[in-house]
Amino acid sequence: MNPVWLIAIPLALAFVSAFWRIVSGWALIIAAFFNAFAGVFGVIFLTATSFSIGGWKAPYGINLLVNDATKLLLPISNILFLFAVLSYLRKGEETTKYSVVFLVALASLNGILLTNDLFNLFVFLEIAGISAYLLASTGEGSDSKVASFKYLMIGSVGSLLYLLGVAILYGAAGTLNISELAARVSSGQISGDVTLVSSLLIVAGLGVESKLLPFNGWVPDVLTKSSRVATLVLASVYPLAMVYAFSKVILAVGDDRVLNLVVLLGIATVLVGEVIAFGQKSLRRTLAYSSIAQSGLAIFLVGIGSVEAVTGSIMLLINNALSKFMLFSIDDQVIDEAGRDDRDTLYGYGRKSPIVGVTFVVSALSIAGMPLFFGFRGKLNAISASFEASLAVPVLILIAAAIEVTYYFRWIFTFFKPVGTVQAPEKRILPSVEFLAFGLVLSTVIVFLGVSSGEAFTMFERAADSLVNGVLAIGKAILGGM
Amino acid sequence: MNILFVLAASLFAAPLFFLISKWKKSVAYIAYAAFQVLVFLYVFFWGGTGASYEVVGITSKLNFNFSMNPVNWFFASIVMLIISTTAVFLLPLKKSPVKIFLLSLVTAGVLGAVFSADFLTLMIFWEISTWSSLLLIIQDKEKSTGEAIKYAAIAAIGSYSMLFAIFYMDSRLGTVEFSSVALKIESQPIGVQLTIFIALAIMVLAKMGSFPLHTWLRGSHSSAPDEFSPILSGGLTKLGGFLLFIMSIVFPSFKVFGNLPLLNGIPIVNYGLALLGGISIVVGTVMAIRMEDAKELIAFSTVSNSGYIVLALSIGGTYATAGGMMHILNHAMASAAMFMAIAAVAYMTKTTRMHEMGGLIVKMPFTFAVYLVAIISVAGIPPTSGFVSKWLIYQQLVQDGLPFLAFAAFFGSIGSFMYVFKPLAGIFLGQLKPEHEKVREAPLIMLAPMAFLTLLTIFWGVFPSNAIRSINRITESIGGGTVDVTFSRIVALTGQWDSVLVTTVFVIGLAISLLIFMRAKKARHVDLLDNYTGGDFLYTAELYHFSYRMYRPFDRLFEKWPSMENWLSSTSEKIKELGALFRAVFFNRNPQVYIALTVIVLVGAFWWLR
Amino acid sequence: MFMNIVITILSGIALLVVAFVYTVTLEGIARKIEARIQRRYGPPFWQNFIDIFKSLTKYSISHGFIFDFGILMALGGTIATVFFIPAGNLAVFPGIDNVFVVIYLLAIGLLGMAMSAVGSGNPNASIGIGRALAQMLGYELPFMIVILGVFFHHGTSSLSDLVSIQIAQGTYNAWLMPIGGVVAFVSLIGMLGKKPFDTFIAPAEIASGPLVEYSGKYLGMLMIQHALATFIEIGLFVNLFLGGGRTLWEFLLKFLIVYFSIVIISATIPRFRVEQAIKFYWKWPLIFSFVQVIIVVFVMGRR
């Protein structure tokens, strides 16, 4: 199956539902299901890796690249998107009202994951960005509109910077194909100044979406104020695609000096994110800043650039997606039931609703990196790889990790604080069926990946290898072939 | 059947017990207790085979490594002894499926940790037991969440320090297995050695509850469910002792740090660590004397005894090492017995505040006896095993001529008379409160494990040679010296004593006084309220039980002492303030700030990088 | 082998009898000395014997099992400890009388008395015991540090070995380590519970503290215990710092000198409060004990 269907179907259905409002809800569901299934079955069994669009062979035309990394990330992104859509299908009209936006978002995210062309990436980034701005404004009240506006401003600046960087690179290299550019950059054909400037601009541009400091000012407000499904998509599916795009491009065309800068910015992101998250009193804000920190972790590993580091990056990325999906869902449950999510409201919530409590523990401990959970494996790789740079890197990362563990445990304790007494036992609260189902699936995946033996992890290593070395290899092949 | 099988069974037992207890709680708990006893028997009798196993799996380069050396056997036997006795003990207490699940996870983690043969395996299993114990602590009491967060924070500090050490080791030495690291560490530059040593030492101090990372013990032990406190104090903290002992094997520190300045023949790094242990002894003792709640008191006693273990294992030398190892055994047993006795009392009277009780010796004599022997052991009085370990440590201190550390050791020993006596006086002696008239002795299922630990304490006090020979085998197997011991006599550097002789003489003394006692006229038994009060009569028992603030004069001496308890919360406040600052800078309300930052970073980066 | 056991038993009995008779006699004489200092006549010097035997023949009350058992433990532990003190050439267990064993066995005695006293149910007793334990932390510390220096220097912690070393080399530890000797002497006053450190008895304040509920045989046994404890503590000091004695009589003479010095000092001083006592001990005696031991470890070295 040509993976372009993953992009085309949602886009087509988006046009359909734009004009034909009645079927818009159904269109979204159909597209989500199709993408999920196609993402899993269609992609995993692909043997060919490069698909050209419109018959133009690479590097003259746009091509879609399916390597080990995309084979891993595409299914996960699409399935999470499906879960997100299904979660609030019964309860809200959100998906029907904004179905066009969701469909376009789905299409663009798949495009970002698949594309191997810098300008194509810009297009999809713009589309994804605009969808994101619209999704961000879906929350009730005016706050979400303000948040969306801020996002719009910095997002626009970011994408312009990215375009500028791409333009400079194109001018110097004459091609927009990522693989070929990788080969040209690594062979030194392009002057150092050009790569430096273009890499810097690209980092800035992609950094906005990837939540890199200091470009991530939009994150807390957007993630806290937007509506339920939108938050789920923005917090779990978007980071997968955006950070992957960041990794793909920077590893391919990045200047070595800029990679060091990326490490620095990544660590700064982690530290700032964790420190701010530590003091937050609302669960949602804590999760928002935690998301920033997790992105920072994934990105600084990309900056280090070795296979081990990028393996850790991919693992952490996926772990973050799975866990944040559950965590934000839990937060939604709480707000649905109690209206707020500060510490007082949450006291003893885990005892009133054991399922929610257990899923919270599983996802929180996975992000905090406790053994028996998936996040621990990723963290091990991350720490191991962080010793390749200077010694200060692991020290800072571990300090941030210690802060993270502390505040996650504080939230876990809040959930399980014994508040009922023998005379007045806590009443039971049942979560929604969808939450039960998805929570169960995702928790099982996290624990399974946490305890499975090393062989299961070769898939992550292959993914990393394809990012670090594979792209370059393809590029050299193209160059050689020309 | 090997240890891998047992470990896997332990891990899978956790969800299994959870499911069983959803059906019927008592069955699950009995199954858990039986399983632990079986594991203990297996470990004790077949645990020292010397086999080692490698299991693939952690990352692409590192695997799990397990071994069953005498060292593993020693520590495993101690922790499994504590866990299995507690598992039987807690059968009458309140049960819940969550608790049995977490308990099983804790024990699985502990088991994996003591049989590990490399640092990463140790770390992983230790972490499993840490996070499950964190969740277990908050199960019962409301105030426990505030206390448990201190445990979480300090455990995080320790764990990440150890992770740092592990991967640093991996990047410099290429291995994290104990034996390989021991071979390669000597050739490394001093900076590397020091870094690894200090990072691991931070983990030891954090997990054993030793100064300056001791502030978590008080809250966690006192607010933990009663059945978990013995395991926390007698089992989990001893894992820190395991790491410390491994460190002393892996870092032949006298050679490795021998080029650093020496103090009395001890490298300054070791001396520093021993000094921290000494301060821990003093701080723990003083704070214990000031406590009003029995469990908080025993928690600080744990701080103090952890200090002894750190001190003994840091200064090195045959006798100190043997003393330290024996102290790990002794304190595990004594501390578990003390917590169990308090738990039995709390089960019957529903309180652990000492001044709310009194006179319970008439109602719970066996519990009293257990507690008495335990405190005699903690205070280090013959003929219990506590004296043996302390005596060995003193011998080394005298021989090496270390006055400041000896001061700390003596302070801890003498001060412990004070704080162990307080619960005895407050809970068991004195006037019986009217509301406790109906209190009965604890059930047999609780008495039996306590009695077992008491008998062991006395046995190893009268025949310490039994325990010391095992310790000799261990130290010999790693190339250390051995303690000169015959059937009943221990010969040390500056003296010798004969345990059977001392016990016999003590019995003779008792016999003589018993003779005098019997020959004199029989006394008339009177009620406790019939007391000398200068001519008045007593009616209300509560007013005449002197236990609250029993050591008030002593307390007043230390009122102005600086307290370490607040350093954690002040650090947390600082972090929150820093967070607010970051938020103001990077996440300002105005989007112009974001654009400005972007431009500044870009321009600055370009200027810096070109 | 069998002869050894018989000799041990006989010397043990002899030591016990000597300790009891001599100490009680000295106590009686001490009362006379104290009285004369305070310009009274005082009771006859055999008064304490009368007190003890009279008490043992009287009826008394008991407050329960622990009340009885504690007394047994107190007297039993103290009697057991007496056997480990060499008195001149009368040493029951030469070579294996380790000082730490002595100190901790003595602690059993204290613990027994503490349990029994608190078990009487009288708050005065508990107050007294609380003070006694707190004060113990005061006087034991300088003492232990000084004797650490003694053991380090001579390389042994066995009492009889230390005695023979001092006799052999001709100088007593009190001249060898004078500061330590003085500190140990001051600690000894605290150990004996004589003024100014008798706050735990405090006759007029807390009705004799721990002793408040004892009468009859209990009081008698406690008096015996007190006498034997005095013997042990002063004997410890004489053996450690004054060279014990070549013969029993030399030992008893030194014992007498030390005891009466303490009695004379005590007769003229009022008592400290508990925190004053602790603060006193933790100031100059502790400082000097550290000074002494640093001199021993770093300047004098091993013998």
Mind listing the pLDDT tens digit for each residue in C106-138? Answer: 888 888 999 999 888 888 888 888 888 888 888
- Asked whether the beta carbons of B288 and B354 are under 8 A apart, the reply is no
Residues of C in contact with B509 (CB under 8 A): 75-81, 83
CA atoms within 13 A on the CB side of B531: 29
Query: Residue B27 and residue B23: Cα distance in Å, rounded?
Result: 9
Q: What pLDDT does A227 receive? A: 82
Q: What pLDDT does C212 receive? A: 86
Residue with tokens 């795009």: A245
Q: Smallest Cβ distance to A278: which of B135, B168, B575?
A: B575
Q: What is the pLDDT of residues C46-96, one digit of tens each?
A: 999 999 999 999 998 888 888 999 999 999 999 999 999 988 888 888 878
- Asked whether the beta carbons of C81 and C16 are under 8 A apart, the reply is no
Indicate the range of A16-25, A100-109, B534-543, C189-198 predicted with least confidence: B534-543
Q: What pLDDT does C89 receive? A: 81
- pLDDT over 90 at A432, yes or no: no
> CB-based contact (8 Å) between A361 and chain B?
yes
Query: What totals of helices (H) and strands (E) does chain A contain, helices first?
Result: 24, 2
Which one-letter DSSP state was computed for residue A457? G
Mutate: best of C58, C136, C148, partner B, most B CBs <10 A: C148
- Distance between A88 CA and the closest CA of chain B, angstroms: 30
For chain A, how many residues are written?
482
Query: Residue A98 and residue A81: Cα distance in Å, rounded?
Result: 14
φ, ψ of residue C98 to 5 degrees: the values are -75, 140
- pLDDT averaged over 10-residue windows placed end to end, chain B, 610 residues: 82 88 87 90 80 72 82 91 92 86 92 90 92 87 78 92 91 84 82 88 92 88 86 90 89 73 79 92 91 88 93 88 92 93 90 83 90 90 87 88 89 89 87 84 90 93 86 82 76 79 89 90 84 77 78 82 80 90 85 85 84
Average pLDDT, chain A: 84
Q: What pLDDT does A333 receive? A: 83
- Subunits close to C (at least 3 CB pairs below 8 A): B
Q: What is the pLDDT of residues A87-96, one digit of tens each?
A: 877 776 777 7
Look at B141 and A403 and tell me if their CB atoms are within 8 Å. no
- pLDDT over 60 at C262, yes or no: yes
- Asked whether the beta carbons of B123 and B64 are under 8 A apart, the reply is no
Which residues 429-468 of A are in CB contact (within 8 Å) with B? 453-455, 457-458, 461
Q: Smallest Cβ distance to B167: which of A383, A457, A458?
A: A383
* Identity of residue B207: K
Residue A177: strand pairing partners: A117
Q: What pLDDT does B130 receive? A: 92
Q: How confident is the model at residue C21 (pLDDT cuts 50, 70, 90)?
A: very high
- Asked whether the beta carbons of C79 and B512 are under 8 A apart, the reply is yes
Look at B595 and A213 and tell me if their CB atoms are within 8 Å. no
Indicate the range of A91-105, B482-496, C173-187, C247-261 predicted with least confidence: B482-496
Q: What is the DSSP string of B465-480?
A: HHHHHHHHHHHHHTT-
* Identity of residue B547: S
Which residues 366-425 of A are in CB contact (within 8 Å) with B? 370-372, 376-377, 380-381, 383-384, 386-388, 391, 394-395, 398-399, 401-403, 405-406, 409-410, 412-414, 416-419
- Distance between B152 CA and the closest CA of chain A, angstroms: 6
Question: Please, which residues have CB within 8 angstroms of residue A435's CB and are 6 or more apart in sequence?
Answer: A87, A329, A330, A333, A355, A356
Q: Where are the domains of chain C?
A: 2-300
Query: Residue A149 and residue A426: Cα distance in Å, rounded?
Result: 42
Indicate the range of A259-273, A419-433, B144-158, C190-204 predicted with least confidence: A419-433
Look at B415 and C64 and tell me if their CB atoms are within 8 Å. no
Q: Return the number of other C-beta atoms located less than 10 Å from residue A339's C-beta.
A: 8
Which one-letter DSSP state was computed for residue A38? I
In this structure, what token pair is assigned to residue C184? 């140990």
User: Residue B597: left if φ>0, alpha if ψ -120 to 50, beta else—which one?
Assistant: alpha
In this structure, what token pair is assigned to residue B367? 């519990």
Q: Where are the domains of chain B?
A: 1-137, 564-609
Chain B residue whose CA is closest to C135: B554
ipTM of the complex: 0.90
Query: Quick one: average pLDDT of A35-40?
Result: 83
- pLDDT over 80 at A216, yes or no: yes
Query: Residue B192 and residue B186: Cα distance in Å, rounded?
Result: 10
Percent of chain A's residues with pLDDT above 90? 23
Q: Are strands B64-67 and B52-55 parallel, antiparallel or unpaired?
A: antiparallel
- Distance between C244 CA and the closest CA of chain B, angstroms: 18
Residues of B in contact with C98 (CB under 8 A): 391, 495-497
Separation of first and last alpha carbons in chain B = 64
Query: Residue A462 and residue B426: Cα distance in Å, rounded?
Result: 66
Pick from A412, A410, A415: nearest CA to A278: A410
Pick from A475, A478, A477, A480: nearest CA to A178: A475
Chain C residue whose CA is closest to B433: C121
Pick from B468, B463, B317, B324: nearest CA to B398: B317
- Asked whether the beta carbons of A113 and A244 are under 8 A apart, the reply is yes
Q: How confident is the model at residue A13 (pLDDT cuts 50, 70, 90)?
A: confident
- Distance between A313 CA and the closest CA of chain B, angstroms: 14
Question: Please, which residues have CB within 8 angstroms of residue B507's CB and are 6 or more apart in sequence?
Answer: none
- pLDDT over 70 at A427, yes or no: no
* Identity of residue B73: W
Q: What pLDDT does A286 receive? A: 92
Residue B564 CB burial class (10 angstroms; 0-12, 13-18, ≥19): middle
Residue A338 CB burial class (10 angstroms; 0-12, 13-18, ≥19): middle
Q: How confident is the model at residue A426 (pLDDT cuts 50, 70, 90)?
A: low
In this structure, what token pair is assigned to residue B239? 């894992």
Question: Please, which residues have CB within 8 angstroms of residue C283's CB and are 6 or more apart in sequence?
Answer: none
Separation of first and last alpha carbons in chain C = 34
- Subunits close to B (at least 3 CB pairs below 8 A): A, C
Q: Smallest Cβ distance to C101: which of B382, B511, B521?
A: B382
- Asked whether the beta carbons of B315 and B402 are under 8 A apart, the reply is yes
Task: Give Rg (Cα) of chain A.
Answer: 21
Cα dihedral A108, A110, A112, A115, rounded to 10, equals: -120
Percent of chain C's residues with pLDDT above 70? 100
Look at B554 and C136 and tell me if their CB atoms are within 8 Å. no
Chain B residue whose CA is closest to A461: B60
Q: What is the largest CA-CA distance in chain A?
A: 81
Indicate the range of A204-208, B155-159, C205-209 predicted with least confidence: C205-209
- pLDDT over 70 at A480, yes or no: no
Percent of chain C's residues with pLDDT above 90? 42
Q: How confident is the model at residue A419 (pLDDT cuts 50, 70, 90)?
A: low
Highest-scoring range by mean pLDDT, A19-28, B259-268, C155-164: C155-164
Chain A and chain C touch, per 3+ beta carbon pairs within 8 A:
no
Q: What is the DSSP string of chain C?
A: -HHHHHHHHHHHHHHHHHHHHHHHHHHHHHHHHHHHHTTS----TTHHHHHHHHHHHS--EE--HHHHHHHHHHHHHHHHHHTTS-BTTB-SSTT--BHHHHHHHHHHHHHHHHHHHHTTT-HHHHHHHHHHHHHHHHHHHHHHHHHHHHHHHHT--BHHHHHHHHHHHS--HHHHSHHHHHHHHHHHHHHHT-TTS-TTT-HHHHTTGGGGG--HHHHHHHHHHHHHHHHHHHHHHHHHHS---SSHHHHHHHHHHHHHHHHHHHTT--PPPHHHHHHHHHTHHHHHHHHHHHIIIIII---
Q: What pLDDT does A332 receive? A: 85
Q: What is the pLDDT of residues C209-227, one digit of tens each?
A: 888 888 889 999 999 999 9
Q: What pLDDT does A455 receive? A: 65
Residue with tokens 């654009």: B595
Q: What pLDDT does C22 receive? A: 94
Q: What pLDDT does B591 receive? A: 79
Q: How confident is the model at residue C25 (pLDDT cuts 50, 70, 90)?
A: very high
φ, ψ of residue C94 to 5 degrees: the values are -65, 135
Look at C101 and B497 and tell me if their CB atoms are within 8 Å. yes
